[in-house]
Amino acid sequence: MYRPKFGVLVSGGGTNLQAILDAVSSGKLEADIGVVISNVAGAGALKRAEASGVPTATLPHKSFGSREQFDEALVARLLEADVQWIVLAGFMRLLTPTFLEAFPWRVINIHPALLPAFPGVDAQGQAFRYGAKITGCTVHLVDAGTDTGPILAQLAVPVLDGDTEDELRKRVLLAEHELFVDTLCLIAKRSVVVSGGVEGQRTVVRFGPP
């Protein structure tokens, strides 16, 4: 039976990683986590991985001479772990073609807004300051742009009257946990098929049985 192995890249506290780890241990997500890698030493996400017995690595981006050298080191560690899919769970570095070409259309990101609205950093704050009435989160495949890759799934989150930015951020984060796990379950069931991806052609993401 198909059982994919994910490599997870993290930079922060790791609540999305925790949701994924919990889904694996409960049997909901039929996949394995081969390695969790952080560019930030001591990131909370690393402690969560260690507590679940998942191998971890720290590759501080500042100790590499260029983005490409950093990405080469990431790729080497991920290949060593023999993972098929790369999951960005709060990973705050842009990836270069060096990385993306090593895992073509196999890099999945969660973004805390309804793309294509509010790409880039602090998406929840952007939506709040804009006065959006509905925001949410998006799981998408990563391409060379910033949050521009093919969208796999989205979940809407209302902005309630009287919300503070922090309250909105927390509500979006809870939606992220749900959407990320559900989308990774689809991938583990081979219900997401990606084809195309050649420059100049549209990448097609198809949902349904393999």
Residue 83: name the closest of 49, 129, 37, 125 by CA. 37
Comparing CB distances to ligand GAR, the nearer of 4 and 112 is 112
- The one-letter code for the residue type at 9 is L
- Which secondary-structure segment (H or E) carries 113? none
C-alpha to C-alpha distance for 2 and 125, rounded to whole angstroms: 39
Q: Which residue has the tokens 């979006």?
A: 172
Comparing CB distances to ligand GAR, the nearer of 164 and 201 is 164
Token pair belonging to 183: 């989308």
Active site residues per annotation: 111
Q: How many residues comprise the chain?
A: 210
Cβ contact 81:7 at 8 Å: yes
- Of 5, 15, 175, 186, which lies in the binding site for ligand GAR, with binding defined by CB under 6 A? 15
Which listed range, 25-33, 70-78, 107-115, 192-200, lies at the site for ligand GAR (CB under 6 A)?
107-115
111 binds ligand GAR (CB under 6 A): yes
- Of 9, 16, 87, 179, which lies in the binding site for ligand GAR, with binding defined by CB under 6 A? 16
Of 22-51, which residues contact ligand GAR (CB under 6 A)? 45
Q: How far is the CB of 86 from ligand GAR (least distance, A)?
A: 14
Residue 10: name the closest of 88, 112, 95 by CA. 88
CA angle 127, 131, 134 (to 5 degrees): 65
- Of 75, 102, 110, 192, which lies in the binding site for ligand GAR, with binding defined by CB under 6 A? 110
Comparing CB distances to ligand GAR, the nearer of 14 and 149 is 14
Comparing CB distances to ligand GAR, the nearer of 36 and 89 is 89
CA 79 to chain centre: 18
Q: How far is the CB of 131 from ligand GAR (least distance, A)?
A: 20
Cβ contact 103:9 at 8 Å: no
Of 68-97, which residues contact ligand GAR (CB under 6 A)? 89-90
Token pair belonging to 102: 């090593």
- Of 74, 78, 81, 173, which lies in the binding site for ligand GAR, with binding defined by CB under 6 A? 173
For binding to ligand GAR (CB under 6 A), which residues are involved?
A: 12-16, 45, 89-90, 110-112, 173, 176
